């Protein structure tokens, strides 16, 4: 049976009659504040994403500009501090540490004090001391003293690259 307020739809579900139709709903003030917070959060996220993208693009353009405007100097400087060969590292002289009074010395890489009998290596240009295993690992990836940054490699590779370019 079909009632006055309820009619059956073609799918079999009851539908509302025009007399009992819902009034248009107006959001409450709390729903307005929630919507406003969601919109503000979306704006803040969009601004942060834009700022991050801008920073990343500036970095990419600066690096590309440096590589394109000064490629040979950049390559030469990277090659100059790229590390020593294993044979060059092993060829550096070593000695055995003996504490001879005064203040004890530290290895600038591992920051521990030298003990009597430790194998140490003094770098040739600056005479800074390091544990052999500490400085060997450093010198395989860097060509400079970790304390004063003096290069152990000659600048011959820099000049040879410049000659090839000219």
Give the pLDDT confidence score for residue 73 in this predicted structure.
Answer: 67
Mean pLDDT split into 10-residue runs, the chain, 166 residues: 50 55 66 88 96 94 76 66 83 87 84 90 88 91 87 55 38
Give the pLDDT confidence score for residue 91 in this predicted structure.
Answer: 87
Give the pLDDT confidence score for residue 55 in this predicted structure.
Answer: 94
φ/ψ of 87, rounded to 5, equals -65, -35
Alpha-carbon distances, residue 46 vs 36, 50, 52, 57 (angstroms): 15, 6, 10, 16
Taking alpha carbons only, the member of 100, 105, 102, 101 closest to residue 131 is: 105
Alpha-carbon distances, residue 99 vs 6, 56, 104, 120 (angstroms): 102, 51, 7, 12
Give the pLDDT confidence score for residue 77 in this predicted structure.
Answer: 66
> Domains of the chain (ranges plus CATH)?
76-165 (3.30.40.10)
Q: How far is CA 123 from the centre of its chain?
A: 30
Give the pLDDT confidence score for residue 11 in this predicted structure.
Answer: 56
Taking alpha carbons only, the member of 132, 144, 147 closest to residue 91 is: 132
């Amino acid at each position: 049976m079909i009632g006055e307020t309820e009619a059956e739809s073609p799918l079999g579900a009851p539908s509302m009659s025009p007399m009992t139709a819902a009034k248009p709903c107006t959001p409450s003030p709390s729903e307005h504040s929630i919507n406003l917070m969601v919109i503000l959060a979306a704006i803040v996220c969009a601004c942060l994403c834009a700022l991050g993208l801008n920073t990343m693009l500036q970095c990419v353009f600066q690096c590309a500009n440096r590589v394109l405007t000064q490629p040979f100097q950049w390559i030469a400087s990277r090659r100059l501090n790229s590390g020593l060969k294993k044979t060059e590292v092993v060829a550096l002289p070593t000695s055995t540490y003996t504490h001879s009074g005064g203040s004890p010395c530290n290895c600038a890489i591992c920051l521990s004090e030298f003990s009597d009998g430790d194998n140490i290596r003094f770098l040739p240009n600056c005479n800074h001391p390091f544990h052999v295993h500490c400085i060997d690992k450093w010198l395989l990836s860097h060509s400079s003293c970790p304390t004063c940054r003096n290069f152990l490699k000659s600048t011959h590779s820099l000049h040879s690259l410049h000659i090839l370019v000219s």
